[in-house]
């Protein structure tokens, strides 16, 4: 592999060494179960989205053996309707419902694998899995373009669309369209679905359940490609002080004294995609306090109690770190999320002017070392 996991030669220090990345990937692989599933932490549940995030990180770090086992588990556990259960524990389904975004993410992971390996045989093998999953997802799309977030075990839909989930699903649909072109099976219905979803996300905010408490709703529309450039910067700036804790990282929710590694890394990816790479790098550095001696990462830090909470080192937090570092290094994960070469789907003319960007003169401030770090000195 050619990745150095260092930023371009602009004087910025390496975020993580190659050895540190491998150590973190090994920590993820150590949590993998014999059947290939990667749970949140040992003994915890597995879901398709977080499992795939770990598979992507493993492939990036050169653990192709563990990544291949993860892909095999995914194919075996896909249900006839194209979905995966929300929760599986040690091979036993605990929640048979299906989350549309969890199912859609297989397309993003498959395209990421292609970007890393250029393996056409893998693309052909995974194509039926992706095709069935995205067909399942678009069966939950509504006439106005939004996608219901889940289908219950009895087959009934949960009639609510989530901003974060739909933004991620939009990106996954575009990856699915790229994979369809690669294998020579164009899917015009996906082009329409992606266009309708993007139109809804840009012009109909009332269609989506409000989750303003969660930082994901702030940055995932940027990662998903709904807003970029001045629009994206204005969006991230609008609640910067609500979520970013100087020197520690980003909060998961705005009303708790709790920073989390995965949300911090995802915010860093969003920042990089709108040109705020310096602030993005600082955030990734700031969560160094979550790193354990074995290369794994604590899920979060409760900074009033000064304790790691919950008491777990989650696989998906470690994976988010690897994906963020590769993005900031200009690796294939940046290509994946930037999506410059991905099909757009049907474009509605109004979409390009639906949201007016805010002022563009003031850049996001760099996070500064906070009081807790001062106490540690």
Q: What is the mean pLDDT of residues 294-305?
A: 98
Q: Is 168 part of a structural domain of the chain?
A: yes
In percent, how much of the chain has pLDDT > 70? Answer: 89
Res 348: pLDDT: 85
In percent, how much of the chain has pLDDT > 90? Answer: 87
pTM score, whole prediction: 0.91
pLDDT over 60 at 78, yes or no: yes
Residue 256, judged by CB atoms within 10 A of its CB (0-12, 13-18, 19+), counts as middle
Q: Is 199 part of a structural domain of the chain?
A: yes
Q: Is 83 part of a structural domain of the chain?
A: yes
Q: Is 13 part of a structural domain of the chain?
A: no
Q: What is the mean pLDDT of residues 291-319?
A: 98
Contact 168, 219 (CB under 8 A): no
Q: Is 28 part of a structural domain of the chain?
A: yes
Q: How far, in Å, CA of 175 to CA of 48, rounded?
A: 17
The total domain count for the chain is 1
For 64, the domain range is 18-376
Res 352: pLDDT: 60
pLDDT over 50 at 5, yes or no: no
Q: Is 226 part of a structural domain of the chain?
A: yes
Res 295: pLDDT: 97
Res 210: pLDDT: 86
Q: Which residues pair with 158 in a beta bridge?
A: 150
Q: How confident is the model at residue 34 (pLDDT cuts 50, 70, 90)?
A: very high
Q: Is 5 part of a structural domain of the chain?
A: no
pLDDT over 70 at 317, yes or no: yes
Contact 87, 141 (CB under 8 A): no
Res 7: pLDDT: 35
Q: Is 9 part of a structural domain of the chain?
A: no
Contacts 24+ apart (CB under 8 A), 53-56: 53/105, 53/109, 53/316, 53/319, 53/320, 53/323, 54/28, 54/315, 54/316, 54/318, 54/319, 55/109, 56/109, 56/112, 56/113, 56/319, 56/323, 56/333
Q: What is the mean pLDDT of residues 13-41?
A: 93
Count other C-beta atoms under 10 Å from residue 345's C-beta.
Answer: 22
For position 85, which CATH number holds?
Answer: 1.50.10.10
């Amino acid at each position: 592999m050619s990745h150095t996991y260092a930023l371009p030669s602009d004087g910025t220090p390496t975020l993580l060494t190659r050895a540190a990345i491998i150590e973190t990937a090994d920590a993820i692989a150590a949590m993998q179960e014999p059947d290939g599933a990667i749970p949140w932490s040992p003994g915890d549940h597995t879901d398709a989205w977080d499992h795939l995030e770990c598979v992507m990180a493993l492939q990036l770090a050169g653990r192709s053996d563990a990544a291949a086992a993860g892909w095999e588990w995914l194919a075996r556990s896909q249900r006839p309707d194209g979905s995966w259960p929300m929760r599986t524990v040690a091979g036993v389904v605990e929640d048979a419902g299906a989350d549309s975004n969890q199912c859609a993410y297989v397309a993003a992971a498959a395209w990421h694998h292609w970007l890393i390996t250029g393996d056409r045989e893998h693309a052909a093998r995974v194509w039926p899995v992706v095709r069935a999953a995205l067909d399942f997802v678009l069966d939950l799309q509504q006439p106005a373009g939004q996608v219901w977030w889940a289908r219950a075990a009895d087959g009934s839909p949960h009639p609510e669309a989530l901003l974060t989930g739909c933004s991620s699903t939009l990106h996954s649909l575009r990856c699915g369209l790229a994979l369809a072109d690669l294998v020579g099976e164009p899917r015009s219905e996906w082009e329409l679905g992606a266009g309708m979803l993007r139109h809804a996300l840009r012009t109909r905010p009332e269609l989506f359940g409000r989750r303003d408490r969660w930082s994901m709703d702030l940055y995932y529309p940027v990662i998903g490609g709904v807003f970029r450039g001045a629009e994206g910067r204005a969006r991230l700036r609008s609640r910067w002080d609500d979520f970013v804790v100087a020197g520690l990282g980003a909060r998961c929710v705005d009303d708790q004294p709790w920073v989390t590694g995965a949300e911090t890394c995802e915010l860093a990816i969003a920042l990089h995609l709108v040109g705020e790479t310096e602030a993005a790098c600082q955030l990734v550095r700031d969560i160094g306090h979550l790193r354990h001696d074995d290369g794994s990462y604590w899920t979060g830090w409760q900074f009033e109690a000064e304790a790691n909470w919950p008491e777990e080192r989650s696989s998906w937090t470690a994976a988010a770190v690897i994906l963020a570092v590769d993005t900031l290094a200009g690796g294939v994960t940046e290509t994946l999320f930037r999506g410059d070469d991905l099909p757009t789907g049907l474009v509605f003319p109004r979409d390009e002017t639906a949201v007016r960007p805010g002022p563009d003169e003031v850049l996001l401030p760099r996070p500064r070392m906070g009081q807790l770090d001062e106490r540690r000195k």
